[in-house]
């Protein structure tokens, strides 16, 4: 109790110097938590968008389908089994037929993935309803990035060329009927969505599909014949690895910030012990043990940490809350990151994350506060009283 009282008195007595240290430390606290919040918010947003827009409750893959090997598409298609047909009728499964194709926007050659999807599906958030139209050309919807990269607008007509089931080249006109905004690049970049029935007839693959997306809420979740069910754990594995990597980057940043905080505390303590030698000697002369002096200095360091945490809450909590509510606008070009990232990220601060981060920071601050005080134990009080450098 005495050491708390004296440490507090010393901190308050030091005035502006104390508050500067506390402010710098509170900034470290805040930035560490903010950065973790951004990563957590990104993780949540990206998972949610990927599920809503691309993978639903999981995806059935044709046994030959390999998304990383474009050449497998030639063989990765098959008749949709009866059991899956029933689900499709209930709009709990959305079959997609995929093939490689080429389009010629403004005379340039662009390799794309042509995807056939049922226009009435509601399993994923793609505006497929727009594909339900009678026109001479094949109606197509594309994402904003695809539109931007190829300078395509709604109403534009572009020639597409593909090979059918027999390997014969064929071509037709595609008409852009809708451009949709999505945060998931894998359904946007280089992708063109057309009606499934049209695609099946173009490729001479009636009743066939390459993959089938299940509804989020319920539906089939087990392999059906040669159709392999891939659940979230599998489909989001790569994404989770990427988040893990980003998190690792976050930990590095955390460590850098934490090191700055440690450095601030350590330097303050070392400087304090050096500058306050006379005070230390006087305290010992007045009847303090070295242990008591060490305790006071350590408590002072801890108080810096506690005050910084309180200050961080006072000015940081409203700031973090506002940002969590209004989101953080991502800079231009962030869509090139290769993973689902929206224009705005809403940081997510869980109580556990804030508590664990603050606790780890505080504990490390306590340790760092204590380390330099070991010099006190080696001090000769008679030299310290005179302020003699030791």
Chain residues binding another protein by CB under 8 A are 2, 5-6, 9-10, 12-15, 278-279, 281-282, 284-290, 292, 381-382, 385-387
Minimum Å gap between C-beta 40 and another protein is 42
Minimum Å gap between C-beta 1 and another protein is 9
Give the closest residue to 348 by CA, choosing from 379, 369, 320.
320
Report d(CA 327, CA 321) in Å as an integer: 10
Minimum Å gap between C-beta 379 and another protein is 12
If the CB atoms of residues 210 and 277 are measured against another protein, the closer one turns out to be: 277
Minimum Å gap between C-beta 274 and another protein is 15
If the CB atoms of residues 3 and 94 are measured against another protein, the closer one turns out to be: 3
If the CB atoms of residues 10 and 45 are measured against another protein, the closer one turns out to be: 10
How many Cα atoms occupy the beta-carbon half-sphere of 62 within 13 Å? 22
Report d(CA 28, CA 309) in Å as an integer: 10
Q: Give helix 290-311 / helix 351-370 axis angle, nearest 10°.
A: 150
Minimum Å gap between C-beta 373 and another protein is 16
If the CB atoms of residues 222 and 386 are measured against another protein, the closer one turns out to be: 386
If the CB atoms of residues 326 and 382 are measured against another protein, the closer one turns out to be: 382
Report d(CA 271, CA 290) in Å as an integer: 18
Length in residues, the chain: 390
3-state secondary structure of 205: coil
Strand ranges (E), 165-255? 169-180, 191-195, 208-209, 211-214, 227-230
3-state secondary structure of 327: coil
Minimum Å gap between C-beta 30 and another protein is 28
Helix or strand holding residue 273 (H, E) = helix 237-275
Match 């134990």 to its residue by tokens. Answer: 377
How many whole angstroms from its chain centre is CA 16? Answer: 39
- Supply the DSSP symbol for 313: I
Minimum Å gap between C-beta 7 and another protein is 11
Give the closest residue to 4 by CA, choosing from 295, 266, 253.
295
């Amino acid at each position: 109790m005495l050491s708390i009282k004296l440490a507090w008195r010393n901190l308050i007595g030091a005035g502006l110097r104390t508050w500067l240290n506390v402010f710098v430390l509170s900034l470290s606290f805040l930035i560490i938590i903010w950065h973790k919040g951004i990563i957590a918010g990104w993780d949540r947003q990206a998972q949610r968008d990927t599920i809503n827009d691309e993978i639903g409750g999981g995806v059935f893959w044709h046994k030959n389908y390999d998304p990383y090997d474009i050449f497998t598409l030639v063989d990765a298609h098959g008749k949709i089994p009866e059991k899956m047909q029933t689900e499709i009728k209930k709009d709990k499964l959305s079959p997609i037929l995929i093939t490689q194709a080429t389009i010629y926007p403004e005379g340039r050659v662009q390799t794309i993935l042509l995807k056939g999807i049922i226009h009435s599906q509601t399993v994923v958030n793609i505006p497929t309803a727009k594909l339900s139209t009678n026109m001479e050309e094949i109606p197509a919807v594309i994402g904003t990035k695809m539109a931007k990269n190829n300078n395509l607008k709604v109403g534009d007509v572009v020639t597409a060329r593909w090979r059918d089931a027999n390997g014969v080249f064929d071509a037709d006109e595609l008409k852009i009927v809708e451009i949709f905004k999505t945060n998931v690049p894998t359904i946007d970049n280089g992708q063109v969505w057309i009606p499934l029935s049209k695609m099946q007839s173009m490729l001479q693959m009636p009743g066939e599909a390459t993959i089938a997306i299940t509804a989020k809420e319920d539906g089939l979740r087990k392999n059906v014949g040669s159709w392999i069910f891939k659940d979230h754990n599998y489909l989001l594995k790569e994404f989770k690895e990427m988040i893990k990597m980003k998190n690792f980057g976050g930990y590095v940043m955390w460590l850098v910030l934490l090191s700055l905080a440690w450095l601030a505390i350590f330097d303050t303590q070392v400087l304090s012990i050096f500058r306050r030698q006379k005070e230390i000697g006087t305290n010992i002369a007045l009847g303090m043990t070295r242990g008591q002096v060490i305790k006071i200095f350590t408590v002072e360091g801890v108080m810096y940490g506690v005050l910084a945490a309180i200050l961080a809450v006072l000015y940081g909590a409203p700031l973090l809350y506002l940002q969590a509510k209004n989101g953080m606008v991502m800079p231009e070009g962030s869509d090139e990151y290769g993973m689902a990232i929206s224009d705005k990220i809403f940081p997510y601060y869980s109580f556990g994350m804030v508590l664990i981060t603050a606790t780890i920071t505080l504990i490390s601050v306590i340790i760092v506060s204590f380390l330099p005080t070991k010099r006190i134990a080696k001090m000769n009080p008679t030299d310290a009283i005179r302020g003699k450098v030791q």
